[in-house]
Amino acid sequence: MPKARPRRFPPPRGPRPRRRSDRGAPPPPPPQAAPVVALAPEGAAPVVLPRQIRVEDLAKAFDVSVVDVIRALVNMGLMATKNETIDYDTAVLVATELGFEVVPEQVAAEETGPEIAEEPAPAAQKILWTDDDPARLRERAPVVTVLGHVDHGKTSLLDAVRQTNITARESGGITQHIGAYQIEHKGRKVTWIDTPGHQAFTAMRARGASITDIAVLVVAADDGVQPQTIEAISHAKAAEVPIVVALNKIDKSDADPERVKGQLAEQGVTIEEYGGDVPLVPVSARTKQGLEDLLDVIVLVADVRDLKADPERAAIGNVVEAHLESGRGPVATILVRTGTLERGDQVVVGTTYGRVRAMVDDRGKTINRAEPSRPVEILGLPRVPEAGDVLRVAPDEKTAKAAAEEEQRRRAEGAAGERPATLDEMFAQAKEGKTKELKIVLKADVQGSLEAIRGSLAKLPQDEVGLNVIHSGVGDVTESDVTLAAASNAVIVGFNNKLDAPAKRVADSTGVEVRSYKVIYELLDDVQKALLGMLEPEMVEQVIGHAEVRQTFTAGKTTIAGCMVVDGVIRRAAQARLIRGGVPVFDGRLGSLKRFKDDAREVNAGLECGIVLDGTNDVAVGDIIEAYVIQAKPRG
Ligand code: GDP
């Protein structure tokens, strides 16, 4: 445990250290010792937990992987390795996150031990980050991402907003492109992500960085809804981010707003004027017409969302972009999500850690503090982190190092563990009450088949698991489809199309399941089976042993192979393959398996046996009989 505690890392017990703005605020409630009734799986008995428990043992107690527990801890801002001990209160939070109900050991045993809350601080508490304190929550600026079809004016809009609201007001301020910028509109701040497009938006989301609060969907009034507009809508909806439509190029003579409004309605985007809840603002990035209205609306939507953060706590942020710069070293643009990032803070960013040597804002100004929703470039990391990586302030270097190493391990393990679910797994999860919905991205060769499939899917019974087609479109399965599926834990269903090369790469690296069909009936059947939980498990072959033919005998018309089991086991009930000179020459079943004169159920390696193959007498000395079984591939 560190001797001197940094100011923003309170001891696990007792009141939090206060900062200036805390004065007068009521002290936070003491940690809860009482059992927390969590969203437990139906019928599951509460898990009895001791006052302190190792992370690994907690995973065992819940019968979940240790990665799940560590991930839950990370979500709570607590970096702990599997060998570290956490206290009951922390375990309760983990339980809540994972959906378990727990009771403390002494309650379960009806003991009258000392109050849990008075226990001395266990070891792992030293790295507990503070939570957002409800009493200290303050409004934060909304984070906006611009989406839409190519050439509809996304970049122009970002530039126009930046020019009118920054350069004009900041005397001498030179706008820096750092990946995000913040403007002020009628005294309210709005943060804009500088990389437009749903690919970047969803790629960040797939990495766990859902930083966007509002999606501005740019639709050119002269061109209307186009394929990428539809994709953008699906991506924003899948992320559950509210949409504001910026109907751009309104200055053009062939602008046709009414047509666009109708097209949007067809895509499930019903604007307020049509009785829906999506605001639409006519704008022109060229003439700047309507930009102020757009900002008014964005601020309004932000108000409805009640976006808040705790500026007093240790900062948590996300990397928006990062690169190596000569003379400056690794530079990372961080969007602070909550807390305040300060120069000199010890931080862990993804798998790297270091001290924030300097901070530069989107106007090139050196700053010492960055509040929530403020994008800022940080210098001082030894390595370039990845976009989407989480930044956390750590109490000391040792903790930062441990957290970075843990993240490295987690990623090494995570390659398998974090793989999005397959159709089979989704149903398994649904059965356990973890998933109530099967999400699919549907791509078909032509509009006609797409409509037919969509129509039939809608008619499938959805009693146990609901079906949610988060995106559908015509054409091959693209990288954007795969990233969307990865970010949304969806399965891709393709009909009469293929996976393009970049999409295949992303599918391989993310483990997204892509199912291709040539027959609509089979597609519907599989989805229905998944929904009903009858999806046949994938059958795989497992070789269980080999026997070498040492001599052959003839009994009537039957050839008996006198064999030596050279490895594994030969089972009477197994399938068998006859291999000659490395080439399989027969595939079938065992007709009989004998040890000396007796029938045997199985014969192990090192023992002799007599084998008759069912269906062939063509067996020769030197042949290999390979025994195998076909079994359901284990889930997960
Ligand atoms: P992006 O691909 O969506 O980022 O689109 P751009 O911002 O690059 O804009 C595409 C083209 O449309 C450029 O030639 C812009 O000058 C033009 N453009 C963008 N906004 C407007 C607008 O409001 N009015 C007109 N007339 N042209 C625009």
Task: Tell me what pLDDT residue 385 has.
Answer: 92
pLDDT in tens, 152-168: 999 999 999 988 765 44
Å from CA of 10 to ligand 1 middle: 51
- Quick one: which atom of ligand 1 is closest to the CA of 218? 3
pLDDT of residue 189: 94
Tell me: pLDDT of 295 over 60.
yes
Ligand 1: lining residues by beta carbon, under 6 Å: 148, 150-156, 196, 248-249, 251-252, 284-286
pLDDT tens readout for residues 134-150: 777 889 999 999 999 99
**Which residue's CA is minimally distant from atom 6 of ligand 1?**
153
N-terminal to C-terminal alpha carbon distance within the chain: 38
Q: What are phi and psi of 33, to 5 degrees?
A: -95, -20
Q: What pLDDT, on a 0 to 100 scale, did the predictor assign at position 539?
A: 72
- Residue 159 CA: nearest ligand 1 atom is 7
> φ, ψ for residue 388 (rounded to 5)?
100, -20
Residue nearest to atom 19 of ligand 1 (CA): 153
Residue nearest to atom 25 of ligand 1 (CA): 249
State in Å: Cα 158 to ligand 1 middle. 11
Question: pLDDT at residue 24 above 80?
Answer: no
Alpha carbon nearest to ligand 1 atom 22, residue: 249
Q: How confident is residue 422, by pLDDT bands cut at 50, 70 and 90?
A: low
Can you give the pLDDT at residue 18?
33
Residue among 156, 159, 201, 251 whose CB has most ligand 1 atoms within 8 A, to mutate: 156
Tell me the average pLDDT across 443-453.
90
Cα–Cα distance measured from residue 392 to residue 323, given in angstroms and rounded to the nearest whole number: 19
Q: Which atom of ligand 1 is nearest to the CA of 250?
A: 23
- CA 154 to ligand 1 centroid distance, Å: 7
Pairing relationship of beta strands 575-580 and 602-604 according to DSSP bridges: unpaired
pLDDT band at 122; cut points 50, 70, 90: very low
Which atom from ligand 1 is nearest to the alpha carbon of 149? 3
Mean pLDDT of the chain: 81
Residue 486 reports pLDDT greater than 60: yes
Asked whether the predicted pLDDT for residue 487 surpasses 70, the reply is yes
The pLDDT assigned to 10 comes to 28
Which residue has the CA at smallest separation from atom 10 of ligand 1?
Answer: 151
Instruction: Indicate which residue's Cα is closest to atom 17 of ligand 1.
Output: 153
Given a cut of 60, whether residue 28 has pLDDT beyond it is no
Instruction: Return the residue whose CA atom lies nearest to atom 11 of ligand 1.
Output: 151
Show the domains of the chain with their CATH numbers.
Answer: 47-114 (1.10.10), 141-306 (3.40.50.300), 316-417 (2.40.30.10), 423-534 (3.40.50.10050), 538-633 (2.40.30.10)
Compute the distance from residue 118 Cα to the ligand 1 centre, in Å. Answer: 63
Mean pLDDT of 210-216: 93
Cα of 375 vs centre of ligand 1, distance in Å, is 25
Q: How far is the CA of 236 from the centre of ligand 1 (A)?
A: 22
**Mean pLDDT, residues 176-182 taken together:** 87
Q: What's the pLDDT at 434?
A: 58
Per-residue tokens: 518: 């040539």
Q: Which residue has the higher pLDDT, 435 or 348?
A: 348
Nearest-CA residue for ligand 1 atom 20 is 153
Is residue 500 pLDDT above 90, yes or no? no
Work out the pLDDT band at 489, boundaries 50, 70, 90: confident
State pLDDT tens for residues 238-279: 889 999 999 999 999 999 999 999 999 999 999 999 999 999
Closest atom of ligand 1 to CA, residue 160: 20
pLDDT in tens, 572-590: 989 999 999 888 899 999 9
Q: What pLDDT is attached to residue 175?
A: 64
Whole-number Å distance, alpha carbon 179 to ligand 1 midpoint, is 20
| Percentage of the chain lying above the pLDDT 90 cut | 41
How far is 164 from 160, CA to CA, in rounded Å? 6
Q: Residue 627: is it exposed, middle or buried by C-beta count within 10 angstroms (0-12/13-18/19+)? A: buried
Provide mean pLDDT across the span 548-568.
93
Distance 197 CA to ligand 1 centre (A): 14
The whole-number pLDDT of residue 53 equals 83
> What is the structure's pLDDT at 33?
30
Say which residue the tokens 């996150």 belong to: 97
What pLDDT does 433 receive?
A: 59
CA distance 16 to 28: 7
Distance from Cα 156 to the centre of ligand 1, integer Å: 5
pLDDT at 7: 26
The pLDDT score that the predictor gives to residue 112 is 37
Buried b (16+ CB within 10 A) or exposed e, 587-603: eeebbebbeeeeebebb
Query: Please, which pLDDT band fits residue 120 given cuts at 50, 70 and 90?
Result: very low
Query: Residue 34, exposed/middle/buried by CB under 10 A (0-12, 13-18, 19+)?
Result: exposed
* Site to substitute for ligand 1 among 151, 192, 248, most atoms within 8 A of C-beta: 151
Q: What is the pLDDT of residues 196-206, one digit of tens each?
A: 888 888 888 87
CA of 152 to the centre of ligand 1 (A): 6
Q: What is the mean pLDDT of residues 610-616?
A: 93
Which pLDDT belongs to residue 426? 62
**Centre of ligand 1 from the C-alpha of residue 150, in Å:** 9
Q: Are 512 and 422 in contact (CB under 8 A)?
A: no
Q: What is the pLDDT of residues 296-331, one digit of tens each?
A: 999 999 999 889 998 888 899 999 999 988 888 899
